[in-house]
Amino acid sequence: MGLFFEDLPIALKDITVAQLLQHTSGIWDYEELIPKERKDQVSDKDVLKYIRQTDRLYFPSGSQFRYSNTGYCLLSLIVEQVAKKSFASFVKSQLFEPLGISKGMVYEPGTTVDERVYGYHPTEGSYLFADQSVTSATQGDGGVYLSAEEYHTWANFLVKDRLIQPGLEQLFDQMAYPVKDGIAYHFGWFIQKNAGHKILFHSGESTGFHHIVYIDVQKDLVVSLFSNRDDFMIGEAFDAILKTMGISKPVLNGQHRSTFAWLNGVYAND
C-alpha cells in the first residue's frame, strides 16, 4: 500500500492489493477505530485516516483470512488514484453504463437516490424504522444502490461474459484463498466447488437491510434475495428457495441454521 498512500505506519506499507482483495491483509477493522461520539457518516477517506493511526496488524499479511471492510474502502481509494476520477464516476462509466444500467449508482454526499427503499428492524408485533448508520456511506464496502432488476443485469453479465473468460477463471481456480468448511474466497465472492459446478455466493448486512446472492456459473443461474428488514428471516427464506428449486445450499455445516448465518459468522470473524 506504500505505493498508493503516504504516511502509512510501517506495519501497513507492504500490504498488497491482492491481500486487500482476498481479506488476507490483517489490517484492522475500521469499525473498531471510529470514535464512539461520532455522529456523521464515515467516508472512505476517513477510513484511511483511521488506519494511519494503527501501526499493528491482526496477523502477518498474507498468512490467514479475516473478513475486512477496511480493505475494500482502501481499494476504492486506489481505484480513484489509478483512474484519476472519483470511484462513483468510474463505476458509472466503466461498469454500469456499458451494460445499460442507468439508475444504479454509488452514493456520494449530496446526491439523491431516487425511489430508495428504507430499512426496518422487526420487533415483536411491529417494525421500527432503522435506516443506515455512521458506516452506511462508505463506497468500497457498500454504498451502491441498484434495483433488483438492474442487479440481475449485472449478475447476468458476470455469468455470461466475465466469469467464463479463461484468464479470470484460472485466477479463481488458482488464487482463491481457503476460508473454512470447504469454502474459498476471491474477487468479492465466496466460492464452492460442487459436482463440477462453481458456486459463488455472498450476503450483505446493514442497518435495516439484509441480502444474499447465489450464482451457479455452469447452470447460468442467479438467485438473489433483497430485504429491507434486518432480522435473520432472510436466511431461512433463502435456503427454502434453494430447496424448492432442488438446489443444495452451498454451506453444509450443522453449527449454522442457514447459509446466511454461516456468512454472518465469517463477517464477525467467529
Mean pLDDT per 10-residue interval, the chain, length 270 residues: 92 95 96 94 96 95 96 97 97 96 93 92 92 92 94 94 84 87 93 88 94 93 95 93 92 76 91
pLDDT of residue 254: 64
Count of structural domains, the chain: 2
Q: What is the pLDDT of residue 256?
A: 66
The 10 Å Cβ neighbour count of residue 58 is 15
The Cα 38–Cα 47 span in angstroms is 13
Based on the number of CB atoms within 10 Å of its own CB, is 149 exposed (0-12), middle (13-18) or buried (19 or more)?
A: exposed
* CATH number, residue 194: 3.40.710.10
Does 132 fall in a domain?
Answer: no
pTM for the structure as a whole: 0.93
d(CA 64, CA 220): 32
Domain extent at residue 20: 10-83
Alpha helices in the chain, H assignment, sequence order: 17-22, 44-51, 69-83, 87-91, 148-160, 166-175, 233-244, 259-267
CA atoms within 13 A on the CB side of 17: 10
- 156 and 75, same structural domain? no
